[in-house]
Amino acid sequence: MEFLTDTEIMSRIQFAITISFHYLFPPLTIGLGFLLVAMEWKWLRTGDPVWERTARFWTSMFAINFALGVATGIVMEFEFGTNWSEYSRFVGDVFGSMLAAEGLWAFFLESGFLAVLVFGWDKVSRRFHFFATLMVCLGSTFSSIWIVMANSWMQTPTGFAVEPMLRDGVPWVVDGQPVTRAVLTDFFAAILNPSSVNRITHVWVGAATMGSFFVLSISAYWILRGRHLAVATRSFGLALVLAAIGTVGAMMTGDANARMVAVHQPVKLAAMEGVYETSDTLAPLTIIGMPDDAESKMDWEIGVPGALSALVYRRLHDAEGHPLSIPGLDLVPEDDRPMTAVVYACFHIMVGCGTFLVGVVGLGIYHWLRGSLWNTRWLLLMFIIGVFPAAIANQTGWFTAETGRQPWVVHPASPRVDPDQGAMSPLWLVDPKRPESEQVRLWTPGDPVDDLAGWHYPYGRRIVTDAKGEHRILPAGVDPEEGASISYDGTKSMRTSDGFSKALRSGAVLWACVMFLLIYLMLGMLWFVVLNHKIHKGPDDHTPGDGEGGLIVAMRRALGEITSMTGLRGGGSK
């Protein structure tokens, strides 16, 4: 339990707790927001009271999730200052402005109109209510754009410079060290950094999956029980369409993301796929396996030969016929490696959940088109439990992204020479122990690997190319000489261990963790009680005389009905 007295580890744990709990809600509300707009649109066009009841019910569901998202979001914002003050001081000029923009543009929009959405049913016109729904949906989408852009800037930072900080006009020196900070030089380059578009789309499809499976799960439960059928089947249909977009989109954007990671964060990719050793053959795609960080190898590995190389490079051999391999963790000094087991496990859980959901949605559409969906009880049950893999995939996806870039809080820019060349470009490797003129070399996937001992990714170092075209490592604190061009600048980054608040004692952070766990327990209880109440009561004013209570009980019953395999047809109706 040594970590309990380590302020950095405790601050990381506190952040992990608060953001994991927070992130249960935003994807749900973003996804549900898309569906609400569709439902209200249907109601506005048709005037059908069933659509009204549908929209009303899901709006009330939206409200509770949204409120929890806001409440837990406030904690996130303040935590940057309380626990990560060194980080905040370093990145405030860039990251802080994105966060503030989010607050002003998006947060107000959604919070302001949410009240109209939830409480205004009988107070405003249908048209205005639809407009309010649209605004809330737009607001939460804008919100996600700003937040993901800010996070992406931490992953693949661009559009900034690191400059000395001034105090009363002169450089500010603390303990003999000049204090520096990241300064915004190009706003659009910073927000449209190499990873932001890829990551935003992936977050959206994740949100679509989460929101749609929330609706699918509850609707499927009602259909199984034969209750609220009009509302349930309509909700199910709309949500199934969104779920199809979400799950298939998640595969496509996920692939694009992995290729982006291969270019900009090769260490993260190696950890995600459990590539410990660089080899000169094609890299297999591990399906089953357990990473062993202590031994730096994979246990019980079963993989598809060459599939990882094929996914990353879209071909197997370069122009000269060399096999395209994946650079592994052995090129990274131990201090610069993430916790591979965690990254690997989270990534594979996410992919596993996603694959399961694609299967369920595919079968759902098949049976829907055949008209047999409402009677396929085992599939409806899959839809009921599908909300859990959807939430787990969203969580583990972010775990992968955030643990994979450790030990950096602001990741160094890509160690590749030219990001425009994509994943095919060669890697810079350095070995500071060699004579100065031989310290830098290029390694292209497919090159022999038996002579790679001692060579590393140049994280935290700067490489210059002089006039003669020779490369060497620039020692820290030396400005590049005239005529030399900087190929890679690793000094523009921040380690997580430099980012936490130095003023904090670990005891205070531990206390804060306990306080937050307490409040999250309370919020979780509230969430469960409200949801259970609403699901049980349903969208209709009259509740069928059904004394039995609770989602869990009903699910157990549904399970029992399925194991008996009898009375499938119409068994759920009362």
Partner 1 sequence: MSVASILATFATAPLPAAEILAPPWMAHLWFVLLCLLLTGYAVLDGFDLGVGIIHFLIGRNARERTVHTNVIGPIWDGNEVWLVTFGGGLFAAFPLAYGSIFSAFMVPLVIVLFCLIARATSLEFRSKATGRWTVLACDLLFSVASIVATFVLGVATGAVMEGVPIDPAGNLVLPGTMTPGGPGPFAEITFALTPFSVTCGVLALTLFALHGAMFLNLKATGITETRIRGAFIGMYLAFLGSLLMATFLAFRDVDAASGFTLLGGFATLLNVLAIVNLAWAMRQRGKWRCFLASTVMVTAMIVLFGSTIHPNLLVSSLDPTWSITIQNAASTRATLLTMFVVVVVGIPFVLLYTAITYWTFRGTVSVEDVPEDRTA
In 3D space, the residue among 452, 453, 475, 455 whose CA is nearest the CA of residue 463 turns out to be 475
What tokens appear for 20 in the block? 């994991």
With CB under 8 A as the contact rule, the residue among 47, 49, 164, 475 that binds partner 1 is: 164
**Residue 159 binds partner 1 (CB under 8 A):** no
Kindly give, in sequence order, each residue whose CB lies less than 8 Å from that of residue 5, ignoring residues fewer than 6 positions away: 506
Residue 184, strand partner residues: 160
Residue 219, strand partner residues: none
CB of 117 to partner 1, least distance (A): 10
CB of 152 to partner 1, least distance (A): 18
With CB under 8 A as the contact rule, the residue among 10, 35, 38, 99 that binds partner 1 is: 99
Kindly give, in sequence order, each residue whose CB lies less than 8 Å from that of residue 443, ignoring residues fewer than 6 positions away: 327, 426, 427, 428, 429, 452, 455
Q: How far is CA 187 from the centre of its chain?
A: 23
Please identify, using beta-carbon distances, which residue of 288 and 514 lies nearer to partner 1. Answer: 514
Please identify, using beta-carbon distances, which residue of 229 and 519 lies nearer to partner 1. Answer: 519
**Residue 74 binds partner 1 (CB under 8 A):** yes
**Residue 528 binds partner 1 (CB under 8 A):** no
**Residue 178 binds partner 1 (CB under 8 A):** yes
Query: Considering only 202-210, 221-229, 512-520, 540-548, which stretch makes contact with partner 1 by CB under 8 A?
Result: 512-520
Kindly give, in sequence order, each residue whose CB lies less than 8 Å from that of residue 4, ignoring residues fewer than 6 positions away: 10, 506, 510
Please identify, using beta-carbon distances, which residue of 118 and 440 lies nearer to partner 1. Answer: 118
**Residue 305 binds partner 1 (CB under 8 A):** no
CB of 470 to partner 1, least distance (A): 24
With CB under 8 A as the contact rule, the residue among 302, 304, 522, 559 that binds partner 1 is: 522
CB of 498 to partner 1, least distance (A): 13
Please identify, using beta-carbon distances, which residue of 73 and 538 lies nearer to partner 1. Answer: 73
Residue 443, strand partner residues: 427
- Tell me, what amino acid is at 96? G
Please identify, using beta-carbon distances, which residue of 16 and 523 lies nearer to partner 1. Answer: 523
Query: Considering only 258-266, 301-309, 312-320, 500-508, which stretch makes contact with partner 1 by CB under 8 A?
Result: 500-508
Give dist(CA 279, CA 289) in Å, integer.
Answer: 18
In 3D space, the residue among 524, 499, 503, 505 whose CA is nearest the CA of residue 15 turns out to be 499
**Residue 105 binds partner 1 (CB under 8 A):** yes
User: What are the angstrom distances between the C-alpha of 83 and each of 47, 149, 488, 501, 511?
Assistant: 51, 22, 31, 5, 13
CB of 571 to partner 1, least distance (A): 32
CB of 490 to partner 1, least distance (A): 15
Give dist(CA 416, CA 164) in Å, integer.
Answer: 27
**Residue 544 binds partner 1 (CB under 8 A):** no
Give dist(CA 73, CA 111) in Å, integer.
Answer: 13
Angle at 317 between CA 312 and CA 321, to 5 degrees: 160
Q: How far is CA 531 from the centre of its chain?
A: 25
Give dist(CA 334, CA 340) in Å, integer.
Answer: 11
With CB under 8 A as the contact rule, the residue among 29, 54, 88, 193 that binds partner 1 is: 88
**Residue 56 binds partner 1 (CB under 8 A):** no
In 3D space, the residue among 48, 64, 175 whose CA is nearest the CA of residue 117 turns out to be 64
Please identify, using beta-carbon distances, which residue of 74 and 486 lies nearer to partner 1. Answer: 74
Query: Considering only 95-103, 254-262, 270-278, 328-336, which stretch makes contact with partner 1 by CB under 8 A?
Result: 95-103
**Residue 536 binds partner 1 (CB under 8 A):** no
**Residue 517 binds partner 1 (CB under 8 A):** no
**Residue 460 binds partner 1 (CB under 8 A):** no
b/e per residue, 218-251, with b = 16+ CB within 10 A? bbbbbbbbebbbebbebbbebbbbbbbbbbbbbe
CB of 295 to partner 1, least distance (A): 40
Collapsing DSSP states into helix, strand and coil, what is residue 305? Answer: coil
**Residue 325 phi, psi (nearest 5):** -100, 170
How many binding residues for partner 1 (CB under 8 A)? 83
Residue 464, strand partner residues: 472, 486
Please identify, using beta-carbon distances, which residue of 96 and 226 lies nearer to partner 1. Answer: 96
Query: Considering only 34-42, 435-443, 513-521, 552-560, which stretch makes contact with partner 1 by CB under 8 A?
Result: 513-521
**Residue 480 binds partner 1 (CB under 8 A):** no
**Residue 73 binds partner 1 (CB under 8 A):** yes
**Residue 502 binds partner 1 (CB under 8 A):** yes
**Residue 26 binds partner 1 (CB under 8 A):** no
Give dist(CA 397, CA 389) in Å, integer.
Answer: 12
Q: Which of residues 390-409 bind partner 1 (CB under 8 A)?
A: none
Q: What is the DSSP string of 50-95?
A: HHHHHHHHHHHHHHHHHHHHHHHHHHHHHHHHHH-HHHHHHHIIII
Give dist(CA 332, CA 336) in Å, integer.
Answer: 6
**Residue 15 binds partner 1 (CB under 8 A):** no
| String of contacts with partner 1 for each residue 110-149, x by CB under 8 A | -xxxxxx-xxx--xx-------------------------
- Tell me, what amino acid is at 447? D
**Residue 529 binds partner 1 (CB under 8 A):** yes
With CB under 8 A as the contact rule, the residue among 38, 137, 184, 260 that binds partner 1 is: 184
CB of 118 to partner 1, least distance (A): 7
